[in-house]
Structure 1
Amino acid sequence: MSNTKVIIAGGGIAGPVLAIFLKLKGYEPVVYERADSPTGLGLSLCLQPNGLKVLALIPGLVESIVGKEIEKMKFVSVLEEDAGVLAQSDALSQVSARFGFRLRGTRRPVFHRTLLAAAERHGVRVVFGHQLVALEQDDESVRVTFANGHTDSASFVVGCDGLHSNTRVCLFGKEEATFTGLTQASGLASGSECALIVNFSDRRDLPYGAHMIYYPINDKQISWAITLQEPEAKETWRDMDEDRQREFKKGQFSQWGFGAGELVKTADTLVKYGLYDRPELQTWHKGRVVLLGDAAHPTSPVPPRAGRQSGVRGHLPLCAAAHAAQPDRRGAVHGDALRGVRGARAAAHPAHVVAREEGREQGEGRVVHGVERRKVCNDAVRAAWKDEGNMVQGYAMLFEQPFTGKSEI
C-alpha cells in the first residue's frame, strides 16, 4: 500500500512540525526548503502555552526544546515626564497552569534545529536547495517545479514558504509586500531576567515613538527588540555592519532605564529589518494547495497578540487536522485533512482578522510620539492591569484559541 504523499514547501518552523503530524498519521510528507542548509536567521521565539500543548502531541519534542520559562510580565515607561513601572503581574503563570505549560523563550535557530532533528527521527525527508517556482494541479495530484529544474508530484501541497511565498504567487498572482511604517532593531545580550518586559518611551531625536520588549531565551541570554516608526528598512535579517552597531549601541536607547539600556550597550548580536504586510486573502487554499503561516497572513510581531493567529509559525488547525486525519485503506487520495483545514480556518478566519487588527492597533499604540499621547497610553496600561482578575481571564481566553503558538523576534 502506498501512502498519500504531501509536499510541504518551506522547511522553517511550520513545515517540519506539520510534516511530523502527517507522518504520524500515515501520510508520506516531504519538505522542500529553498535554503541550501539550516540557517541561523532570526533571533528568538516566545512559545505560548497552547502552542506547546500542540507540540506535546509529538512524543518527546517539548522536553527537547532548549529555552527559558517566563514567569511574569512587566510594563515600564522611560518617558522622562512619566517614568516608572506601569504594571507587573504573574497573570501569565496563573493562566499557564490551566494548560500545563508556561510561556517559554527560545533561540530561534536552536529551536529550528530541534524541529529538524525531530522530523528526521520520525522518518520525514527534508530536501534543501529546492525553491518552488511553479504548480500544476488536476483532480488527482499536484505537480511542483523547482528553481533548479527538479520536479515532483503529490496528492497535496502546503505552502509554508514565508512572507515572500512562491506558493502564494502561483495560486493568487504576484503582489507587493507593503511596508507597515515600522522597523525593528533586535539583539541578544547576557542576562537572567525571567520576565517578559514591555518598555515604552518617546524618541526625542525624531518625530516617532518607540517601544522595547525583552525576555529570556535561556539561563544566560536575553532577546530584545525595539520597534520604531521610521523610513523603510529592507527585511534582510542580516547583522548590522560594525559602524552601525557601534552607533546604535551608543545612541539614545543605551540610556533607557530598567536594564533596557544595558541590554542595548552589551548586545553581541544586532539585526534590523522592516515589518511588512500582505493584502487579506478571502481563502487560504485553491484545489489541492493550501497556505500556512506568513505565506497566508503575515502579522505584526506584537506579543502576545502576534501569536494569536500564528501557531508555531503557522495556523495550528492545519496541524490538528493532520493529527486527526488518516489516509484510506487503499492509500488513495482522500481529502479529510484538507477539509479539516478548510473547516478550522473558516472558523478561525473572523478571529484572525480581529487579532490582526488588534496587533496593528497595539503596534501603533506602542510607538506613539508626543509626551501627552504617551501619557495617555501609559494610563491605559495602568487601567487595564488594575483589575488583574480580568487580565487573567483575558489571557486565558487568548490562550484557549487553538491556533495560537508563538511570538517572534
Structure 2
Amino acid sequence: MVVGAGIAGTALAAAMAGSRHEVVVLEQAPDPSPVGAGVVLTPNAVRPLRRLGLGPALERVAVAVAARDVLRYDDDLLLGSTPQDGVHAQRHGAPNLALLRADLHAALLAAAGPGAVRGGHYVTDLLESSDGVSVRCADGRSVHGDVAIGADGANSLIRSLVNTDRYRPARRVLYRGLAPAERAPALLREPRVRVWSGSDRYIAAYPVAAGRRVAFTATVPAGARDPGSWTARGRVADLLSAFQGWSATARELFSAAEWVGMWGVHDHGPVPVWSRGRVALLGDAAHPTLPFFAQPANQAVEDAVALAAHLRGATSLEAGAALERYALRRRERTERLRKVNEEILAAVRAGGDHSPEAWTRMAAEAENAHGDWIYGHDPEDEGPGGADGARR
C-alpha cells in the first residue's frame, strides 16, 4: 500500500508495474491530480523513467532545456549560462526536460496501470502486525497489505506516526504559476530556464506543455497572511508587490498568469526514522528537499525506483528487511544532497554579499562541484543487484 498519489507515490506504482506484487495507491482526493505547475526533470530521473517506458510520453509534452540562464534581477542582463543540452546531455545520458506536473503525473498513472490508484481514501492511522499492516481511513474503511509506504508529502501523516514530528511554521512562501505562451514575454518562450535572484527571493521561468505555456516559480519570505484565503488575482497582485523594482519581463509574466498556487516551504531537518518494520517513507515525506539543482521531484523519482528495486524480489517475510536496506542507502544520498543545499543557502544568506554576480558565481561553482554525482547517479544501482548494493 502507498499512501499518497503525488509524483512519488505514482512513480513507485509505475516502477512496480509488471512485478509479481500488487500495488495499491490510496489518495484522499476523490479524483487524484497533481498540485503545482511546472517541473524540470534532470538526467538522474529521465534515464530511469525512460527505462520504465515513459520516454515517448514525456517527449510529446516536454521541452528539452537548452540552458539555464541567470539574469540580473532588475534589467535581465545575462550574468551566466549553464548549457543543458549537447555535451551536458551526452555526459549524463539524457536531457533536462521541462513539463507540466499534470503531464508527468498522467504518464506515471498510465504506466502504473488501471486501478492502481484508489481515490477518496483519507488515511488517518495505521496498525502494524507480524504479518502485515492495516491502514484506517476517515470513513471507517480499512485496507490491509504487506507493507505501507508513506508518500504523503512534506506534512506527512505517516512520518508523524513513525517519528516524533513537530509542526514548524513555514519560513518561506513558494508560488507556482502558469501563463499561456502567447501572452508571455517572447524571451521566456525559448527552451531555456531563466533565473532571477535577489538577497531573499528568487524567480525561475521556463516553457512547458510542448511550448504552449510558460511555468514560473517564485519564493519570498513567509508573511502573516493565510495563503488559503487568497484568490488567484490576489496572488498575482501580491507577487507584483513582492517583486517591485524587479525585471519587467518577470512582472509581465506574473500579470499574464492564468493560474497561481501558493504553499509554505517548511523547514524540516533530517527525518530520524525512514523505516520501521513494514512501514517506510518516500519522497518529501522522508526528505523535504530545497529546490537547488531542481531536485525535489527528481529525488522522489529516485526514491521510487530504488525502493522498487528492493521490493520486486522480496517476499512478505523479507519485506521489512528490504525497506530497511532501501532506507539506509537512500538516506546516504539524500543527506549528502541536503548538506550541499544547506551550504548553498548559507552562502546566499551570509555576509551581506547578495549581488547577482556573487550568486551567479556561487551557482556555477556548485554546478561544477556537484553536477556529476547528482545528475549521473542511477537509483537502480542502490538495489540488491546494482553497483552500490554489490559494493556494500
TM-score (norm 2): 0.83
Partner of 2:389: none
Describe the superposition over 1:177-225 as per-residue Cα deviations: whole angstroms up to 9, x where unpaired.
32352112232122522111221235xxxxxx32211122131211111
Contact kept in structure 1, 2:275 and 2:323, CA below 8 Å: no
Amino acid at match of 1:317: A
Match of 1:226 among 202, 208, 218: 218
Partner of 1:57: 51
Partner of 2:132: 141
Contact kept in structure 2, 1:107 and 1:217, CA below 8 Å: yes
Give the C-alpha shift of residue 110 in structure 1.
2.6
Contact kept in structure 1, 2:14 and 2:108, CA below 8 Å: no
Change (3 A) 1:167 1:383: closer
Structure 2: distance between partners of 1:306 and 1:151: 31
Whether 1:304 aligns to 2:284 is no
Q: Which shifted more, 280-289 or 39-48? A: 39-48
- 2:69 aligned counterpart, secondary structure: strand
| Structure 1 residue runs without a partner (length 5+) | 1-6, 203-208, 405-409
Contact kept in structure 1, 2:232 and 2:260, CA below 8 Å: no
Match of 1:24 among 18, 22, 28: 18
Contact kept in structure 1, 2:9 and 2:304, CA below 8 Å: no
Structure 2: distance between partners of 1:211 and 1:262: 16
Whether 1:395 aligns to 2:371 is yes
- 2:110 aligned counterpart, secondary structure: helix
Match of 2:313 among 326, 330, 338: 326
Give the C-alpha shift of residue 267 in structure 1.
1.6
Change (3 A) 1:355 1:43: same
Superposed, 1:26-41 pairs within 5 Å as: 26-39=20-33, 41=35
Superposed, 1:80-95 pairs within 5 Å as: 84-91=77-84, 93-95=86-88
Describe the superposition over 1:330-385 as per-residue Cα deviations: whole angstroms up to 9, x where unpaired.
xxx232x653443343233233223223324434655x599x6222x623523764
Structure 2: distance between partners of 1:400 and 1:154: 35
Amino acid at match of 2:89: S
Whether 1:356 aligns to 2:338 is yes
Change (3 A) 1:119 1:9: same
Partner of 1:102: 95
Match of 2:306 among 299, 314, 317: 317
Partner of 2:202: 211
Partner of 2:251: 261
Give the C-alpha shift of residue 78 in structure 1.
2.3
Contact kept in structure 1, 2:133 and 2:145, CA below 8 Å: yes
- 2:215 aligned counterpart, secondary structure: strand
Match of 2:280 among 268, 281, 290: 290
Partner of 1:15: 9
Give the C-alpha shift of residue 151 in structure 1.
1.0
TM-score (norm 1): 0.80
Match of 2:238 among 248, 252, 262: 248
Q: Which shifted more, 110-119 or 299-308? A: 299-308
Structure 2: distance between partners of 1:242 and 1:109: 19
Contact kept in structure 2, 1:91 and 1:391, CA below 8 Å: no
Contact kept in structure 1, 2:4 and 2:25, CA below 8 Å: yes
- 2:51 aligned counterpart, secondary structure: coil
Over the matched positions of the two proteins, sequence identity in percent amounts to 22
| Structure 2 residue runs without a partner (length 5+) | 381-392
Superposed, 1:335-350 pairs within 5 Å as: 335=318, 338-350=320-332
Structure 1: distance between partners of 2:90 and 2:157: 40
Change (3 A) 1:96 1:340: farther
Whether 1:155 aligns to 2:146 is yes
- 1:321 aligned counterpart, secondary structure: helix
Structure 1: distance between partners of 2:50 and 2:323: 20
Give the C-alpha shift of residue 139 in structure 1.
1.8
Q: In proportion to residue count, which structure has more helix?
A: 2
Give the C-alpha shift of residue 129 in structure 1.
0.5
